Structure 1
Amino acid sequence: MSINTQNLQSIINFIWTVADDVLINKFLENQYQDVILPMTVLRRLDLALEPTKDKVLQTHNEFKSKIDNVSGLLTSELHGSGLAFYNTSPYTMKKLLDDPKNIDANFLDYLNGFSENVQDIISKFKFRNQLNTFEETGITFSLIEKFCNPKVELSPDKISPMAMGYMFEDLIRRFNEKTNAAAGRHFTPREIIELMTHLVYLPVKDKIQKGTFLVYDPCAGSGAMLTQSKLFATNPEGEIKSTATFHLYGQENTGEMYATCKSDMLLKNEDPDKIKFGSTLSEYGFDPDLKFNFMLTNPPYGTTWKQDQENLNVGTGKKVEIKDRRFNLKIKNFKGELEETCLTSRSNDGQLMFMLHMLSKMKDPKDGGSRIASIHNGSALFTGDAGSSESGIRQYILENDLLECIIQLPNDMFYNTGITTYIWLLTNVKEERRKGKVQLINASSEGFYQKMRKSLGSKRVELTANHIQIIQEMCFAFEENEYSKIFDNEDFGFYQITVHQPERDEKGNIIKDTKGKPKSDSTLKDTENVPMKESIADYFKREVLPFAPGAWYDKTKMKVGFEIPFTKYFYQYEPLRALSDIAADIMTLEQETENLLKEIVE
């Protein structure tokens, strides 16, 4: 389902004006979102409960003294809200406006009337911290009145969770731009989510028509990937039309986004307890043995995970060791022997750690296996030398034949960054024709996007339904062309050897050790990356010895490396212009300049 962003803009613009009309001189600019975002969520919940308000109050008043736990009745279709939450306060936001003199006390009563799952949302927004300022500055009435304006159409019947996620992300982007703050994350455009869901579900659509499936996002944000993916799979008018049950799981460590995600899960009658708060890497909120059929995410990249390292009780030595089965994995050494290795990326970029986390949550292939779509920047492809954890993570993925495809997206696709991004598709149930292979798709050129009439932050281009169709068909076809290339897993591997050259004395004689072997000159020491498919001896003879006679390498001290030099595979050489053409252009310019000078002088 696509979103008409232009229709939403009028609502977003109105909400945005609330800050300037009501909060100005009462709150600092960097505090505006602490008021606007929770008020938007509360009004949305308020509108959802409005039709059943009287029924909920009647049930509550009748049974509160008779039953210890009345929650079941208050959420039931027959006696309550018919939703996973309720409010037992006599007030709605509109009714609060009927008593302006007591509105501060009544507003607190209204907040206290929400069920426990909404109390968690209010708590994560830290909204009660703002109430004293509301009362002291006398803005409570004006604020609530603004949000009750018909122009703020926030009813879940009119605004879907996906649209709500878009609104929130746009508001947060605006707040960050206003205060020159970095968003710290890259919100995912809805057309990218649509592409990801198609790539994850369509190849197995015949296998998910019935049954129960678990969908997971370890960096859930507003929850859009979860809700959109379920909608795509179960839409009765969609491509899959599945009647299966899909359970949505997610974790988010930013309070405001967790609160937003959980509120929309409540409104969609999803289980709010399947959305957890905290850092996925060090505070994983679910049973460690819980596995998922599908995983979609856009993890933070270029963002530190140092606090997670500390929380996981990492050693202080040079090599980071974490006693966690998610990150201790077996990869081959240069002898081809499996060795258990602690794979932990550098502390200033944890994106590949989320990858390892998801790989640990894959279902056994005997139980249907798992499919993963994850967005990353370029560093996930090549950062880290041979023997590094980043290289080791790529090695683990490729040695276990988990990588299906990587798709390069157009630049300027995201709201707060213009960098190059990639969708990684992984699975442990590859089709026979894909086994041992990796497909790379370059969808970054103009034929794969259209420019937006009006940019949103850094987002200047977008994918249309037709572009999504072209990309997914190229992926499913699994054929080579100008934009699609297919490789063996081993094509990305190499052995790093250290090249030594003999040490010489002042007369040019080779210095030898006590065993009569030439000593290595440390100033001439170098490394070579030998493609894994090549013979090291043949490579050395062809690429090294002609340029460094007498050189040698230590066969007992080699490292294994893996990288995916995406750009190299799609590089197209553009020959330099002929010198005669350049000379002709220069002569033309000189003649034009000479004529101009004559005109000026005359």
Structure 2
Amino acid sequence: MSQLSNFVWSIADLLRGPLKPHQYGSVVLPFTILRRLECVMAPHREAMAEAVEKSDDATMRRALVRRATGMPFYNASSYTLAMALEDPDNLAANLVDYVNGFSGEVDVFKHFDFEARIRQLDAADRLIPVTQAFAKIDLSTGNVDNAGMGDLFEHLIFKDFEASNAEAGDFYTPRDAIRLLVDLVFAEDTDALAAPGITRAVYDPAAGTGGMLSVAEDHLRELNPKANLALYAQEINPASYAIAKSDMLIKGQDIANVRLGDTLAEDLFAGETFDFVLSNPPYGVDWKGSEKAVRAEHTRGTNGRFGPGLPSVGDGSMLFLMHVTSKMRPVDAKGNGGRGGIVLNGSPLFNGGAGSGPSEIRGHLLENDLVDAIVALPNDMFYNTGIATYLWILDNTKQPERRGKVQLIDATKLGTKMRKSLGSKRVEISAKAREEIVRTYAGFGAVSDDEAGAVADAAAAGPRSKVFDNLDFAYWSVTIERPLRLNFQVTSERLESVAASKPLTKVDGLVDVLSSFHDRLYLDREEFLRDVGKHIGSNGLGLTTPQRKALWQVLGERDENADICTDSKGRPEPDTGLRDTEIVPFGWGGNIKAHDAEQTTVQAYFDAEVAPHVPDAWIDWEKTKIGYEIPFIRHFYEYLPPRPLADIDADLEASVARILELLREVEQ
């Protein structure tokens, strides 16, 4: 496949001069699609022509062609690339006629502005050699199957985006990552998928070029060649949409189910749900362009996709996470529901503190038992990033043993280094490693390092698996207060703060009046305010309540020996500068993992971990919040002891010796 893709892309050498490198893809990709469609139609062209001649009505033609050839589309033109070349003087017109001869559902070429490219190449005397080159490529299904075409498009897209310095990973997911995700999502439904006449619907809301759907279809066909699989896709990028649609067209899928548009701004499959939902949304991409629609849907609460919460505008990946769960088929009377799989970076695991949008989203997923498993992938798996990536497997009808549980699988050491990197992609998941990860998932229970290493490649430590209760990832964020203790004194330094205070500058002559107040050190706020108040009043000045507060704030300094400041009801006032937050996990200290165990668990934590160190502290129960975090790395952290000092010293001595030897050579 790499040879074929390199050969196809080598045709771009013919475009040097008239086109810039970033424009090569707008020629190579549509020509590849055209040649693929041509090769698929080739065995049926005669029957297709006869069917087309029987009617001028497009709908009738489509029906006649499908009946005669089984093809879901047709081309009314008599041209092929080879035939168009027979009249080189009119090649551009012939190709335009050929492209426009496709039935209406084949609208993919307009998204490349292909007609304009044809005329541009013709004007530059490049159209004939480019057409000749593509006419020689055999892209028949017998020579290149659907999976192979997916791989071909993968390489071509990478080349295109590499040439234009764009992000290939935004529109294409590596096949090894897709295969692993599909295997994991389908793992719980394998027996049912093999049943006669089974029907399943698969949906990708950020479809790119349709790679996930293609792999999902191939997976199902392997299990059950007679299965009925309906594919649905939405994609925002026109060129990627065009490739995905042409791929679906060739496979005989209903291409009305491939739609162009911004999924976050408008769900073009609103009201529809699916057996399987797969997605690799872009990482770290903002959703400003969709913000109005997203916020409007958020206000609808449970009636909208984004009711649980909103992430920061700078990262829309968690919006896709919520969208995926909303599109999984609801549980029916027989207990059947939907499963989902999504590729995410590390931030959705932990970003945002208690009460934030991301935390509330995680809480929604965990409290509703929607997270089945999370798999950590090796770094350098994707074209446009080398950062850590994770597969989230979602399920609304878990198997009994998985209910209330989340499985974490560390597969970071199962990557195989590629012979030649593609952008940031330097590592891939081999078929053997993929099987091991799926086997670990199916085993469900925790896997020790020794057990994992025994069944994995010798070069890798193997995947490790740990199983947690959903509420193992829940915690209380507890606000700990300490009393405010201040001393008060009118000094020249503190008077400078009075002069700089905006509320107090409105009181004319205040600084001068305070300058005549004695410099006694007060440890009691009420006593100080009483005395300084009398002094100010005797000089004909008055302070409002806000100004009185501003005065003691600027004249007070923290003092552990001072009396506690109290409010009007005699309660200690908190010192905001000493305020602290403690994280108390659900189930801490052997308490039950439950929301109604808040008082017992938090108080026990406070008594054991806080009170012995700060006896005057207290809990502000009104500020307590529930948060959710999945600290994946912490659960799989491996301590590596530092090297012995003797070894380090030996290495340093050896390095110094080498340096001295080099210096002696220079001196000679």
Structure 2 length normalisation: TM-score? 0.80
Q: Report the residue type matching 1:404 in the other structure.
A: D
Q: Which residue of 2 aligns with 1:441?
A: 409
Cα distance between partner residues in 2 of 1:110 and 1:598? 77
Are 1:271 and 2:257 counterparts? no
Q: CA deviation at 1:68?
A: 7.1
Q: Which residue of 1 aligns with 2:483?
A: 502
Of 121, 126, 150, the match for 1:134 = 121
Of 21, 24, 31, the match for 2:16 = 24
Contact kept, 8 Å, 1:398 with 1:489, in 2: the verdict is: yes
What does 1:154-169 align with in structure 2 at a 5 Å threshold?
A: 154-169=139-154
Question: Relative to 1, partners in 2 of residues 1:176 and 1:69: Cα closer, same or farther, differing over 3 Å?
Answer: closer
Question: Relative to 1, partners in 2 of residues 1:243 and 1:58: Cα closer, same or farther, differing over 3 Å?
Answer: closer
Are 1:76 and 2:130 counterparts? no
Question: Relative to 1, partners in 2 of residues 1:515 and 1:261: Cα closer, same or farther, differing over 3 Å?
Answer: same
Contact kept, 8 Å, 1:326 with 1:357, in 2: the verdict is: no
Cα distance between partner residues in 2 of 1:375 and 1:200? 12
Contact kept, 8 Å, 1:16 with 1:171, in 2: the verdict is: yes
Cα distance between partner residues in 1 of 2:659 and 2:126? 68
Cα distance between partner residues in 2 of 1:280 and 1:413? 25
Cα distance between partner residues in 2 of 1:520 and 1:33? 64
Of 213, 229, 249, the match for 1:226 = 213
Q: Which residue of 1 aligns with 2:595?
A: none
What does 1:201-216 align with in structure 2 at a 5 Å threshold?
A: 201-208=186-193, 209-210=195-196, 211-216=198-203
Q: Which residue of 2 aligns with 1:553?
A: 619
Question: Relative to 1, partners in 2 of residues 1:344 and 1:129: Cα closer, same or farther, differing over 3 Å?
Answer: farther
Question: Relative to 1, partners in 2 of residues 1:242 and 1:133: Cα closer, same or farther, differing over 3 Å?
Answer: closer
Secondary structure in structure 2 of the residue aligned to 1:116: coil
Q: CA deviation at 1:184?
A: 5.8
Q: Which residue of 1 aligns with 2:468?
A: 487
Question: Relative to 1, partners in 2 of residues 1:60 and 1:541: Cα closer, same or farther, differing over 3 Å?
Answer: same
Contact kept, 8 Å, 2:171 with 2:208, in 1: the verdict is: no
Of 560, 571, 580, the match for 1:526 = 580
Are 1:147 and 2:131 counterparts? no
1:126-170 Cα shifts (integer Å, max 9, x gaps): 323324423432332222112112xx2322332223222222222
Are 1:465 and 2:447 counterparts? no
Question: Relative to 1, partners in 2 of residues 1:415 and 1:552: Cα closer, same or farther, differing over 3 Å?
Answer: same
Secondary structure in structure 1 of the residue aligned to 2:188: helix
Q: Which residue of 1 aligns with 2:182?
A: 197
Cα distance between partner residues in 2 of 1:392 and 1:358? 16
Contact kept, 8 Å, 2:283 with 2:315, in 1: the verdict is: yes
Cα distance between partner residues in 2 of 1:82 and 1:263? 16
Q: CA deviation at 1:584?
A: 5.0
Question: Relative to 1, partners in 2 of residues 1:41 and 1:584: Cα closer, same or farther, differing over 3 Å?
Answer: closer
1:516-537 Cα shifts (integer Å, max 9, x gaps): 1222222222222211223111
Question: Relative to 1, partners in 2 of residues 1:299 and 1:590: Cα closer, same or farther, differing over 3 Å?
Answer: closer
Contact kept, 8 Å, 1:86 with 1:114, in 2: the verdict is: yes
Q: CA deviation at 1:475?
A: 0.9
Cα distance between partner residues in 1 of 2:41 and 2:610? 75
Are 1:351 and 2:317 counterparts? yes
Of stretches 297-306 and 589-598 in structure 1, the one that deviates more from structure 2 is 589-598
Q: CA deviation at 1:397?
A: 0.7
1:290-330 Cα shifts (integer Å, max 9, x gaps): 22111222111211222112344649xxxx7466823354x
Cα distance between partner residues in 2 of 1:234 and 1:324? 36
Contact kept, 8 Å, 1:97 with 1:141, in 2: the verdict is: yes
Q: Which residue of 2 aligns with 1:338?
A: none
What does 1:421-440 align with in structure 2 at a 5 Å threshold?
A: 421-440=389-408
Q: Which residue of 2 aligns with 1:4?
A: none
Q: Which residue of 2 aligns with 1:122?
A: 109
Q: CA deviation at 1:92?
A: 1.1
Of stretches 164-173 and 94-103 in structure 1, the one that deviates more from structure 2 is 164-173
Contact kept, 8 Å, 2:339 with 2:395, in 1: the verdict is: yes
Cα distance between partner residues in 2 of 1:36 and 1:344? 40
Question: Relative to 1, partners in 2 of residues 1:585 and 1:137: Cα closer, same or farther, differing over 3 Å?
Answer: closer
Could you tell me which runs of 5 or more consecutive residues in structure 1 were left unpaired when the two chains were aligned.
Answer: 1-7, 330-341
Are 1:95 and 2:76 counterparts? no
Q: Report the residue type matching 1:195 in the other structure.
A: L
Of 224, 245, 253, the match for 1:262 = 245
Secondary structure in structure 2 of the residue aligned to 1:75: helix
Q: Which residue of 1 aligns with 2:569?
A: 515
Query: Number of paired residues?
Result: 564
Q: CA deviation at 1:222?
A: 1.7
Secondary structure in structure 1 of the residue aligned to 2:621: coil
Cα distance between partner residues in 2 of 1:476 and 1:84? 39
Cα distance between partner residues in 2 of 1:556 and 1:130? 65
Q: Report the residue type matching 2:340 in the other structure.
A: I
What does 1:9-408 align with in structure 2 at a 5 Å threshold?
A: 9-21=2-14, 23-64=15-56, 69-78=59-68, 81-118=69-106, 120-149=107-136, 152-183=137-168, 185=170, 187-208=172-193, 209-210=195-196, 211-235=198-222, 240-241=223-224, 243-286=226-269, 288-312=270-294, 314=296, 321=299, 325-327=303-305, 329=307, 342-366=308-332, 367=334, 368-408=336-376
Structure 1 length normalisation: TM-score? 0.88
Secondary structure in structure 1 of the residue aligned to 2:128: helix
Cα distance between partner residues in 2 of 1:351 and 1:497? 29
Contact kept, 8 Å, 1:41 with 1:260, in 2: the verdict is: yes
Contact kept, 8 Å, 2:479 with 2:621, in 1: the verdict is: no
Contact kept, 8 Å, 2:92 with 2:119, in 1: the verdict is: no
Question: Relative to 1, partners in 2 of residues 1:168 and 1:587: Cα closer, same or farther, differing over 3 Å?
Answer: closer
Secondary structure in structure 2 of the residue aligned to 1:76: helix
Secondary structure in structure 2 of the residue aligned to 1:543: helix
Secondary structure in structure 2 of the residue aligned to 1:455: strand
Question: Relative to 1, partners in 2 of residues 1:276 and 1:543: Cα closer, same or farther, differing over 3 Å?
Answer: same
Cα distance between partner residues in 2 of 1:283 and 1:126? 25
Are 1:564 and 2:605 counterparts? no
Q: Report the residue type matching 1:373 in the other structure.
A: G
Question: Relative to 1, partners in 2 of residues 1:401 and 1:45: Cα closer, same or farther, differing over 3 Å?
Answer: same
- Looking at secondary structure, tell me which structure has more helix per residue: 2
1:259-308 Cα shifts (integer Å, max 9, x gaps): 1111111111111111111112222122x222211122211121122211
Q: Report the residue type matching 2:407 in the other structure.
A: Q
Q: Report the residue type matching 2:567 in the other structure.
A: D
1:517-576 Cα shifts (integer Å, max 9, x gaps): 222222222222211223111212223233333122211122111111111001111122
Q: Which residue of 2 aligns with 1:337?
A: none
Question: Relative to 1, partners in 2 of residues 1:104 and 1:583: Cα closer, same or farther, differing over 3 Å?
Answer: closer
Question: Relative to 1, partners in 2 of residues 1:429 and 1:312: Cα closer, same or farther, differing over 3 Å?
Answer: closer
Question: Relative to 1, partners in 2 of residues 1:182 and 1:597: Cα closer, same or farther, differing over 3 Å?
Answer: closer
1:411-469 Cα shifts (integer Å, max 9, x gaps): 11122221111111111111111111111111111xx2322222222222222221111
Q: Which residue of 2 aligns with 1:536?
A: 602
Q: CA deviation at 1:598?
A: 7.1
Secondary structure in structure 2 of the residue aligned to 1:527: strand
Q: Report the residue type matching 2:37 in the other structure.
A: L
Cα distance between partner residues in 2 of 1:365 and 1:203? 15
Q: CA deviation at 1:91?
A: 1.0
Secondary structure in structure 2 of the residue aligned to 1:117: coil
Q: Report the residue type matching 1:26 in the other structure.
A: P
Cα distance between partner residues in 2 of 1:50 and 1:358? 39
Secondary structure in structure 1 of the residue aligned to 2:627: strand
Cα distance between partner residues in 1 of 2:664 and 2:114? 74
Q: CA deviation at 1:197?
A: 2.1
Q: CA deviation at 1:586?
A: 4.5
Question: Relative to 1, partners in 2 of residues 1:596 and 1:435: Cα closer, same or farther, differing over 3 Å?
Answer: same
Cα distance between partner residues in 2 of 1:109 and 1:599? 76
